[in-house]
Amino acid sequence: MSSYSLGVFLRELIRQQGIGVTELARRARLSRECIYKLQRGDVKQPELSTIVCLARALHTHPLVLLRKLFEGQEFRSAAQPPARRANDAVGFLGDITCPDNCMVGVNSKFTKVWEIQNTGLLVWRGRRLVCVDEWLEVRVVPAADTKGGRWFRAPARQRCLIPATREIPIPDTKPGGAVRLSVEFTTPPFPCTTISYWKMVDESGAFCFPNQEGLSCLVQVVTL
């Protein structure tokens, strides 16, 4: 494990964000001594809960800190990687606006903003976020049957959120970098619960993470 690399990285994040150890301790709900020990590399095996608290306080993904902690280590896995390219990964940081099930008015416009982070080792270049609502199919599996079930298509267009554009460019993003992506939607003209799905594609139009769900916007459309 590279507790030293983690310590160096923590000091750099603190410097970049212009906060001190006292402020970080307050945000992360950790002691100042704990943070000083992490910066020095004295903690060889920090608890996962500590990593998560630090990541939240520093507005980064826990995988970024864990990668620094395990820097130089190799792990073999028989599982097929979920990304199209090796060493490519994405982490969801949060809904900046309109969290799931928020209420919006009928026949109105609103802007959804997601924040994601490049948690892999590749630089993102020429990528886009595209709407995949027209490809959506949902499988309903009975509780007693994990192999059977029924399929039904996405709701009719008049029941869907209508995006102002069906794709948006993703700025070039280095490993560890975070980016906010926004889409303006128009809601249906009547009350309902509806969702829109989006996925990342590369410069050739192929899905970067075909086995992952992607981003979504789930809202309750109401008469205000």
Q: Kindly write down the DSSP assignment for every residue of 12-33, as one continuous string.
A: HHHHHHT--HHHHHHHHT--HH
Sign of the C-alpha dihedral computed for residues 181, 24, 67 and 6 taken in this order: positive
From 49, 86, 55, 48, select the one nearest 176 (Cα to Cα): 55
Please give the model's pTM, rounded to 2 decimal places.
0.68
User: What is the tens place of the pLDDT at every residue in 54-79?
Assistant: 998 988 888 888 878 776 665 444 44
Residue-wise pLDDT for 87-114, tens only, equals 899 999 899 999 999 999 999 999 999 9
- DSSP at 188: -
Residues 165-189: what's their mean pLDDT?
94
- What CATH code would you report for 3-69? 1.10.260.40
Per-residue pLDDT band at 224 (split at 50, 70, 90): confident
| Pairing assessment for the beta strands 162-163 and 150-153 based on DSSP bridges | unpaired
pLDDT digits (tens, 9 = 90+) for 158-170: 668 999 999 999 9
As to burial, measured by CB atoms within 10 angstroms (0-12 exposed, 13-18 middle, 19+ buried), residue 106 is: middle
Residue 178 has pLDDT above 50, yes or no: yes
The full set of domain ranges for the chain reads 3-69, 90-222
Q: Measure the CA–CA gap between 170 and 126, rounded to whole angstroms.
A: 7
Helix or strand or coil: residue 73?
A: coil
Confidence of residue 16 (pLDDT cuts 50, 70, 90): confident
The CATH homologous superfamily of the domain defined by 90-222: Immunoglobulins (2.60.40.10)
Cα separation, 66 vs 59, whole angstroms = 14
d(CA 93, CA 118): 10
pLDDT on residue 67: 79
